[in-house]
Structure 1
Amino acid sequence: MTTLHFSGFPRVGAFRELKFAQEKYWRKEISEQELLAVAKDLREKNWKHQAAANADFVAVGDFTFYDHILDLQVATGAIPARFGFDSQNLSLEQFFQLARGNKDQFAIEMTKWFDTNYHYLVPEFHADTEFKANAKHYVQQLQEAQALGLKAKPTVVGPLTFLWVGKEKGAVEFDRLSLLPKLLPVYVEILTALVEAGAEWIQIDEPALTVDLPKEWVEAYKDVYATLSKVSAKILLSTYFGSVAEHAALLKSLPVDGLHIDLVRAPEQLDAFADYDKVLSAGVIDGRNIWRANLNKVLETVEPLQAKLGDRLWISSSCSLLHTPFDLSVEEKLKANKPDLYSWLAFTLQKTQELRVLKAALNEGRDSVAEELAASQAAADSRANSSEIHRADVAKRLADLPANADQRKSPFADRIKAQQAWLNLPLLPTTNIGSFPQTTEIRQARSAFKKGELSAADYEAAMKKEIALVVEEQEKLDLDVLVHGEAERNDMVEYFGELLSGFAFTQYGWVQSYGSRCVKTTDYLR
């Protein structure tokens, strides 16, 4: 029988419940216990959604109050020493200070998680960094899921990816890979604690394998997994965001119990693992976009795999569903105004059901889910033939463009002279970066305008007033290049998308960018 598991889930909730609770806590409007209660409720809902999809394993350890890499810094004792905190007894308030800074220390640096729009907190490694295990975060979530009667699989970012996404700090020059011998025993302690808490399988994420790693980093995987495999739990080594085909020989040789590969980003890599003799987890539902899958096409890939692998075939999303909005079913306006587009979409909860259908088709036959497969095919056909996507008028305009329409009329050397003569700027001109903060007054005016409580003329006048204020302030500061502050825009993508055809917008399609910051999905019809 094919096994269905999940790699990770969105943390913020269907209506950004975590975001609002966090921000209330930061404003001291709710207590720590109230925030913890919101978080526990969200975790339970997430696990129940996974269970409702007939998952054999729900993901635990992926929920965080801010960032999963920050959780791992705490779990390994690798929080920046400059804060003076004890990772073994870290309070929630201190946890947030690591992420947001305090009066004495700036926040941990933030950057994008591989090529996603999610931002993680970058570990700060020093030549003398010492590690110390604290598995509480992972064990607690495992026990919570078990208390609900669920079979859970902890998910932990692996040691080499953890080191890879960090940075060397301090005056002493060193290679952070040199910290591996000190870090590895701490991972063993964390995994052992999970085994003692009842974990049968543990997922270890190594997305670093999809990037161009130096040879010595690749070679290190042998020793790392030779060590981790001694822990008495089954290890699923999870890769995503790209192909690991170039490392196929290495991955097949590692003493792990299973391997997850991303067959959405890199479907061609399946051939490299055709002879894999352990559990192979196929990431076949896209964890990074909002489009519905053509399940019949997916089955064309996984049915031959099942015939070959039997019980060794697992299925999942390509990566954690963290990168997708939560629930399409609440998008009532989109459904009413763009029914075709609505039928083409799948958010997190819909993707869980796509996986449920795939599991049923594999284990019970396609006839058992014939209705769902027919609906999936109809949506795929509708999208493929839609006149909203395939615009004959646009194709004609493109065809009618004159030759060299995409080329500049003069070389850069001429353009820069004209620009300098017209602008007459100093050698190092001063300016602001585009947008000014969205004030309470701006937000109130926009809300009133959208509700029909403020006329278009009055709204425009309010925005012009705000623009005049920021221009006046810049002139007082004698800046060279002024900006108008972008008072009139909401989200920068949504604002311009609303002025263009071919875009649609959700009400609740929020995806976490970092901490409590979320961005809303914009659907580009293509």
Structure 2
Amino acid sequence: MLKHNLGYPRIGKQRELKKACEAYWSNRIDSPTLFEVGMKIRKENWETQEKANLDLIPCNDFSFYDHVLDMSLLLGVIPESYLSIPINNNLDLYFAMARGFQKDVWDIQAMEMTKWFNTNYHYIVPEFDKNQKFSIFSHKIFDEIEESKKILKSIEKIKPVLIGPISYLFLGKEKEKSFHRMDLVENIVPVYINIIKKLKNQGINWIQLDEPILVLDMSEKEKDVFQYAYNEISRLCSEMNVLLTSYFDGISENMSIFQKVSVQALHIDLVENPYQLKKILSFFSEESKIILSLGLVDGRNIWKNNYFNSVKKIEKAIESLGESRIMIAPNCSLLHVPIDVDNEHFIHIDIKNRMSFARQKIDELNDLEKIVKGDTNILRNNSSLIEESSSIFSDPKIKERAKNIKNQDIQRNNHFHIRQKKQREKFRLPLFPTTTIGSFPQTKEIRNLRNQFRKQEISKKKYDEKIKNFITDAIKKQEEIGLDVLVHGEFERTDMVEYFSDKLKGMLSTENGWVQSYGSRCVKPPVIYGDVSRVNDMTVEWIRFAQSQTNKLIKGMLTGPVTILQWSFVRDDQPIFHTAYQIAWAIREEVLDLEKSGIQIIQIDEPAIREGLPLKKKDWKCYFDWSIKAFRISSSGVKDETQIHTHMCYSEFNDIFKYIADMDADVITIESSRSKMELLNAIFSYPNEIGPGIYDIHSPRIPTVVEMFDLIKKASKKLPIKNIWVNPDCGLKTRKWKEALMSLHNMTKAAKMARIKLIDIS
């Protein structure tokens, strides 16, 4: 029974990669220094996994920005516009594709970015031409194999990881509508075969090909090209052991593929879908000699493994297939969890004893192996721990409120058209009103101030005074720019979820629980360990102060219940929707207190609403039933005149807009600039007001007035002009002030131009 891992966190124990990349982008270090940081992280990761006695250790799971972008470079899928940039090395080309390039006469936008399946990780979307050519362009994978040979004691342990050809094509997009990207399979498979042969020549015996497309509702075309691809790989790379991995759901619906596909091993996710095991065992017991890899350790949550449940699955698989045909592993890459729980020093011991980060999760594989071989003490201790600490904080009143939700709790007083009329009469905003999403640049000065306050080096009074100064300055800047609806800037917040977790009962923040969201952007997901409730005001004081500094409208800024849920590590001892409703009631209380304090516009951000969507359409209705209900609990208690905004970004929304409309927010702001307003085809019938973002905040480039006006014009052809807002794609926290101010100046100019040049013809 082999133990293996699908991928390890790549940011470094102290976010060394983030710091090094940002230093490189600002010309404070050179490329050899950046490469040295990457090499050190890889060495630590490999040594940690070897020390944990893994039989197969992933290689090529490290990335300076994004593993999908790495694949694009490996396969030579580089849009022509980037090849024309005056850049001398592949590293700068790589970062230009991820972040855009703006220098002298060159002004090229970053490639589109979206969510990796139903996670909060973002990937760079590959772009394909009709006659797309593929060839080996980058040698990163081969270089890292040679590097790992010097670190690991046995070459037999090295398992390079690649996104499989069909999932890679699926994750991309066609630049033109005259072809389907799956038609490129015959072009891409020979390159994969060349890569596998080169790896074999380096002495590699196992390769991991990630095909998460297997857990989706695959079309017949996708099934056909999948069979073609793996028949070719099997036929021409017979000496390589191919481990085909699926994760994030079950593959039972697509098992027919394997009647015609031959690979050495198949990995299935028994965390997200434990029920598939029985069907898969019956399929493979007689039909194939395939090795089955059981994904048993949760790579997306931080609770210790329930060994009793996992061992039952292992024993069932061994009984059916035999021990030699079983592998055990986490269900997916450990990219989605923090690195080491031993770096946490201030978490209550009862909670910490239940937690398991990446390093602990690979140790859990050893424990499972020992239990299967007869060590019952480990099993007994684990079962006792889970039973004792499954509900550390319980409040019957909170549980009861979340269970007894009445219809009036999820309905506004009147229909949107009535609310819209009242709000327009009250606010008197111009056509194409301008606003931002919420946050402004988090400078080094602000971060240092927070650290000083956290370490008790300055008093709360001094801290509050400084934050108020930042807010006053931000309001002044917004007034100078000419924005119509202002924000306070969120200077008191480290993160849009972590901030609220520190103020809600039943949640906690970690010290070093960082995970990668995209590129150098790292977040610390909070931990929901008990019943959630609001103790005191969370934002009212800051928003009320901001409103006192201006005659313009200030938006109250809150994070929605679904996003707090999705961007946290959630308790695993009750249904997830119960937790969502508890959070929703807490946010509702804050919304009502903001309204009482005189705030007339309140934004409840839900960027994760799409992210939580089940991967199979048959499960969508159940998800939307509870997730939309949670949002409406939080937003429905206000008067008609109070305008509720929400915000969403960096996911595929085209197929769910009918559900988003059910949220009944007065205004939705949504990402659309990187895709050049592609979602307009889906939202043309959206009934309420909408702000399709007109500039990409995840890139340092400054959009021009003309390009933003063109996007407004594009939107006005699909949407009623009276319903269109003008705003960036997302918050400006990660940008520098100079970039933010220049971009917002251009944005307001574009809005003013639209007010003159565009006529409402609806």
Classify the TM-score, shorter chain: over 0.9
Give 1:331 deviation, angstroms: 0.2
The structure 2 residue matched to 1:360, chosen from 367, 370, 379, is 370
Residue 309 of structure 1 aligns with which residue? 321
Structure 1 counterpart of 2:353, one-letter code = S
Give 1:403 deviation, angstroms: 7.2
Residue 274 of structure 2 aligns with which residue? 267
Residue 454 of structure 1 aligns with which residue? 458
Residue 116 of structure 1 aligns with which residue? 119
Instruction: Provide the C-alpha distance between the structure 2 equivalents of 1:411 and 1:156, rounded to a whole number of angstroms.
Output: 50
Residue 300 of structure 2 aligns with which residue? 288
Instruction: Provide the C-alpha distance between the structure 2 equivalents of 1:130 and 1:17, rounded to a whole number of angstroms.
Output: 36
Q: Give the TM-score taking structure 2 as reference length.
A: 0.65
C-alpha change, 1:398 and 1:188, in structure 2 (3 Å) is closer
Question: Where does the alignment leave 5 or more consecutive residues of structure 1 unmatched?
Answer: none
Q: Which has the higher contact order (CA 8 A, sep 6+)?
A: 1
Q: Is the 8 A contact 1:510 1:519 kept in 2?
A: yes
Residue 94 of structure 1 aligns with which residue? 93
The secondary structure found in structure 2 opposite 1:235 is strand
Alignment of 1:427-446 (within 5 A): 427-446=431-450
Alignment of 1:20-419 (within 5 A): 20-84=19-83, 90-103=89-102, 104=106, 105-134=108-137, 136-147=139-150, 148-150=152-154, 151-170=157-176, 173-229=178-234, 230-231=236-237, 232-275=239-282, 276=284, 277=288, 278-310=290-322, 311-334=324-347, 338-362=348-372, 364-367=373-376, 370=377, 372-384=378-390, 386-388=391-393, 390-397=394-401, 404-419=408-423
C-alpha change, 1:154 and 1:401, in structure 2 (3 Å) is closer
Structure 1 counterpart of 2:336, one-letter code = H
Structure 2 counterpart of 1:142, one-letter code = I
Structure 2 counterpart of 1:290, one-letter code = I
Q: Is the 8 A contact 2:269 2:294 kept in 1?
A: yes
Question: Where does the alignment leave 5 or more consecutive residues of structure 2 unmatched?
Answer: 530-570, 572-762
Q: Give the TM-score taking structure 1 as reference length.
A: 0.93
Residue 13 of structure 1 aligns with which residue? 12
Instruction: Provide the C-alpha distance between the structure 2 equivalents of 1:93 and 1:476, rounded to a whole number of angstroms.
Output: 36
Larger displacement relative to structure 2 (466-475 or 346-355)? 466-475
Instruction: Provide the C-alpha distance between the structure 2 equivalents of 1:45 and 1:398, rounded to a whole number of angstroms.
Output: 45
Instruction: Provide the C-alpha distance between the structure 1 equivalents of 2:411 and 2:96, rounded to a whole number of angstroms.
Output: 50
Residue 515 of structure 2 aligns with which residue? 511
Structure 2 counterpart of 1:141, one-letter code = E
Q: Deviations over 1:213-247 (max 9, x none)?
A: 32211111111001011212011111111111111
Q: Is the 8 A contact 2:76 2:138 kept in 1?
A: no
Structure 2 counterpart of 1:154, one-letter code = P
Q: Is the 8 A contact 1:248 1:272 kept in 2?
A: no
Instruction: Provide the C-alpha distance between the structure 1 equivalents of 2:33 and 2:382, rounded to a whole number of angstroms.
Output: 41
How many equivalent pairs are there? 513
Structure 1 counterpart of 2:119, one-letter code = T
Give 1:90 deviation, angstroms: 4.8
The secondary structure found in structure 2 opposite 1:521 is coil
Q: Deviations over 1:81-103 (max 9, x none)?
A: 211179xx953233222222222
Structure 1 counterpart of 2:380, one-letter code = A
The secondary structure found in structure 2 opposite 1:332 is coil
Q: Deviations over 1:149-168 (max 9, x none)?
A: 23111111011111111111
Larger displacement relative to structure 2 (188-197 or 101-110)? 101-110
Structure 1 counterpart of 2:257, one-letter code = L
Q: Is the 8 A contact 2:371 2:379 kept in 1?
A: no
Larger displacement relative to structure 2 (139-148 or 393-402)? 393-402
Instruction: Provide the C-alpha distance between the structure 2 equivalents of 1:402 and 1:107, rounded to a whole number of angstroms.
Output: 46
Residue 487 of structure 1 aligns with which residue? 491
Q: Is the 8 A contact 1:325 1:521 kept in 2?
A: no
Instruction: Provide the C-alpha distance between the structure 1 equivalents of 2:143 and 2:374, rounded to a whole number of angstroms.
Output: 38
Identity of counterpart residues, as a percentage?
Answer: 39
C-alpha change, 1:272 and 1:253, in structure 2 (3 Å) is farther
Q: Is the 8 A contact 1:134 1:190 kept in 2?
A: no
Structure 1 counterpart of 2:44, one-letter code = K
The secondary structure found in structure 1 opposite 2:94 is helix
Instruction: Provide the C-alpha distance between the structure 2 equivalents of 1:121 and 1:348, rounded to a whole number of angstroms.
Output: 24
Give 1:440 deviation, angstroms: 3.1
Structure 1 counterpart of 2:109, one-letter code = F
C-alpha change, 1:319 and 1:400, in structure 2 (3 Å) is closer
Q: Is the 8 A contact 1:205 1:239 kept in 2?
A: yes
Q: Deviations over 1:166-225 (max 9, x none)?
A: 11115x632111221111111111111011111111111110121223221111111100
Instruction: Provide the C-alpha distance between the structure 1 equivalents of 2:146 and 2:442, rounded to a whole number of angstroms.
Output: 42
Q: Is the 8 A contact 1:204 1:235 kept in 2?
A: yes
CA-atom RMSD, angstroms? 2.0
Instruction: Provide the C-alpha distance between the structure 2 equivalents of 1:136 and 1:35, rounded to a whole number of angstroms.
Output: 17
Q: Is the 8 A contact 2:74 2:140 kept in 1?
A: yes
Structure 1 counterpart of 2:338, one-letter code = P
Residue 641 of structure 2 aligns with which residue? none
Larger displacement relative to structure 2 (252-261 or 469-478)? 469-478
Instruction: Provide the C-alpha distance between the structure 2 equivalents of 1:486 and 1:191, rounded to a whole number of angstroms.
Output: 49
Structure 2 counterpart of 1:308, one-letter code = S
Q: Is the 8 A contact 1:135 1:190 kept in 2?
A: no
Instruction: Provide the C-alpha distance between the structure 2 equivalents of 1:399 and 1:250, rounded to a whole number of angstroms.
Output: 42
Structure 1 counterpart of 2:110, one-letter code = A
Instruction: Provide the C-alpha distance between the structure 1 equivalents of 2:445 and 2:342, rounded to a whole number of angstroms.
Output: 33
Larger displacement relative to structure 2 (341-350 or 420-429)? 420-429
Instruction: Provide the C-alpha distance between the structure 2 equivalents of 1:279 and 1:47, rounded to a whole number of angstroms.
Output: 24
Instruction: Provide the C-alpha distance between the structure 2 equivalents of 1:102 and 1:404, rounded to a whole number of angstroms.
Output: 51
Q: Is the 8 A contact 2:351 2:392 kept in 1?
A: no
